[in-house]
Structure 1
Amino acid sequence: MRRTVSAQLELTTLAGATRLVMQLAVARVPGLQVEETLALTIDGAPLQAAEVPTAHGGVIHTVTLPPETPGGRTIRLRYDAEVGSDDDLETTAPDNPDDRDIYLRPSRYAESDRLFSVARRELGGADGLDLVQAAADWVHGRLRYVPGSSRVTDGAVETLLAGAGVCRDYAHLTVALLRALDVPARLVAVYAPGLSPMDFHAVTEAWVDGRWYVVDGTRLAPRPSLLRISTGRDAADTAFLSSYGAGIRMGPQTVTATVDGDLPADDHTSPVQIA
């Protein structure tokens, strides 16, 4: 499967020093063939970003603007990638006990310790892949997908109480329920061909029988087409853009993700792994 993805962002600076941290690039996975470009400008002039590798093949790009940077300057970013794969593409990370321990702990947006009783009551009779699927199905049936219904500070508990959210909220609740039942689970930010409306997307990966399997409570895109961007405990680790210092104002944002030919089928019940 060959996929084409892109992301375009426009930002306006506030006066003073600012550091931007961006996670937009397709993760470097053995067997994945990535041809990519990243273009950054400030008021039309080229801006150089530093590239920093992170966990699970992720890549961070960082830019630091000096203290004398005036407000009102326009930063534009464009990322484009053409992605193919070898026949021997790895679809699961090697066993790492440290990772499994990290992804069992409660985290900022996946408060598994606060959802222990709910998880036991609603999902306590299942195990293995059946449990992972049951958690995704339960979240899908419990929540309504409503753009703009949640705040960036909301975690799994707020999402459960509200009964609505967007992809990151679905993923946080699924992650928290699985961790509460002693299943290592993590959030993955992805490009998602077939997603409508198109945007960055978030899904859940769970560790079962020596492999990471992906589930998506929103069921808005076929899982076999997903392309990993970043992987972490929750949205605090996987945000596509963070700023530190004087700050920024967000402008227009466009994300695209397509596959050559037809989208793969996905009944959202079969086990699926992504690179």
Structure 2
Amino acid sequence: MQRTVSARIDLTIEDPARLVFMLAVAGGAPDERLELLANGVALDAADVLELTDAAGSRLHVVEAPAGSLSLSYSATVDGQAAAGSDRPLDLVEYLRPSRYCESDRLGATAVAEFSGLEGHALLDAVSSWVGTRLAYVPGSSGPSDGAVQTLLAREGVCRDYAHLVIALLRSLDVPARLAAVYAPGLDPMDFHAVAEAYVEGAWHVVDATALAPRSTLLRISTGRDAADTAFLSSYGGFVQLDAITVTATADTLPADDIGRLVQLR
């Protein structure tokens, strides 16, 4: 399968700021390009620091001057991209409650709804339960809303669905994490967020939104929750997001067989 993705972000920066972008394909791609324009002038590669975190996510750090800044990224991936982190520590770290996945507060709910289930059957049950109890409503959630607030509100966007799935699974002692992805077939097109759960000896995708075929997803970043996977973080001066455009296509857009486990690569 060949997948082609791109992103463009336009910013206005009131005062100099440090910007951290996470929108490059994890593991890289042979056909990949990243360009930054600050006040209409292209930044040299030496002005952009690329880092890789413990989960394998790629970060691009820029000391941005005041004014306008645009970032354009594109990549084409043939076959499978890099898998996510499989450190032994992951099976401990991704069991813990985190900022947006308050698994310690959802234990009673998880046990009441899913007691006795495990493995593939558990993932199917949690995905279906979350998918039927939440309404997908763009703009319905705030930046500080976690899994508990999402369950109370009964609505959210992809990251809210993923946070609730992750919190419920961690409550049942199943390691679970969040992955930010490019998602061919997603409509409307945007960055997408899904959960991954460790069952039957591997990490498998759980997407309670069912908005894109899981087999086409292309990993950007991986973490405990959205706090670890934001496409843009800014430190210092005030930064305004003026525009964002995301594209993701695949040469084959298969139906998603919800009856099988799918690994994100």
Q: What range is the shorter-chain TM-score in? A: over 0.9
- Matched residue type, 1:242: S
Q: Is the 8 A contact 1:192 1:201 kept in 2?
A: yes
Identify the residue that residue 269 of structure 1 maps to in structure 2.
259
- Matched residue type, 2:237: A
* Distance in 2 of aligned mates of 1:111 and 1:101: 16
* Distance in 1 of aligned mates of 2:30 and 2:180: 17
Identify the residue that residue 14 of structure 2 maps to in structure 1.
14
- Matched residue type, 2:264: I
Q: Is the 8 A contact 2:110 2:171 kept in 1?
A: yes
Identify the residue that residue 83 of structure 1 maps to in structure 2.
77
Q: What percent of counterpart residues are identical?
A: 56
* Distance in 2 of aligned mates of 1:91 and 1:241: 22
Superposition deviation, residue 93 in structure 1: 4.9
- Give 3-state SS (helix, strand or coil) of 2:163's partner: helix
Q: Is the 8 A contact 2:174 2:199 kept in 1?
A: yes
TM-score (norm 2): 0.95
Identify the residue that residue 74 of structure 1 maps to in structure 2.
68
* Distance in 2 of aligned mates of 1:162 and 1:155: 11
* Distance in 2 of aligned mates of 1:170 and 1:157: 11
Q: Is the 8 A contact 2:195 2:205 kept in 1?
A: yes
Once the two structures are superposed, residues 209-229 of structure 1 have per-residue CA deviations (whole angstroms, 9 ceiling, x without a partner) of 220000100000000000000
Calculate the aligned-residue CA RMSD, in Å: 1.5
Q: Is the 8 A contact 1:205 1:215 kept in 2?
A: yes
Superposition deviation, residue 35 in structure 1: 1.3
Q: Residue 209 and residue 189 in structure 1: after superposition, are their counterparts in 2 closer, same or farther (change >3 A)? A: same
- Give 3-state SS (helix, strand or coil) of 1:148's partner: coil
Q: Is the 8 A contact 1:93 1:211 kept in 2?
A: no
Q: Residue 263 and residue 140 in structure 1: after superposition, are their counterparts in 2 closer, same or farther (change >3 A)? A: same
TM-score (norm 1): 0.92
Alignment of 1:87-236 (within 5 A): 93-94=85-86, 96-236=87-227
* Distance in 1 of aligned mates of 2:131 and 2:179: 17
* Distance in 1 of aligned mates of 2:129 and 2:211: 16
* Distance in 1 of aligned mates of 2:248 and 2:200: 31
The total of aligned residue pairs comes to 262
Superposition deviation, residue 34 in structure 1: 3.5
- Structure 1 runs (4+) greater than 6 angstroms displaced: none
Give structure 1 stretches of 5+ with no counterpart: none
Give structure 2 stretches of 5+ with no counterpart: none
- Matched residue type, 2:2: R
Identify the residue that residue 2 of structure 2 maps to in structure 1.
2
* Distance in 2 of aligned mates of 1:92 and 1:197: 26
Alignment of 1:36-55 (within 5 A): 36-47=32-43, 48-55=47-54
- Give 3-state SS (helix, strand or coil) of 1:104's partner: coil
Q: Residue 187 and residue 44 in structure 1: after superposition, are their counterparts in 2 closer, same or farther (change >3 A)? A: same
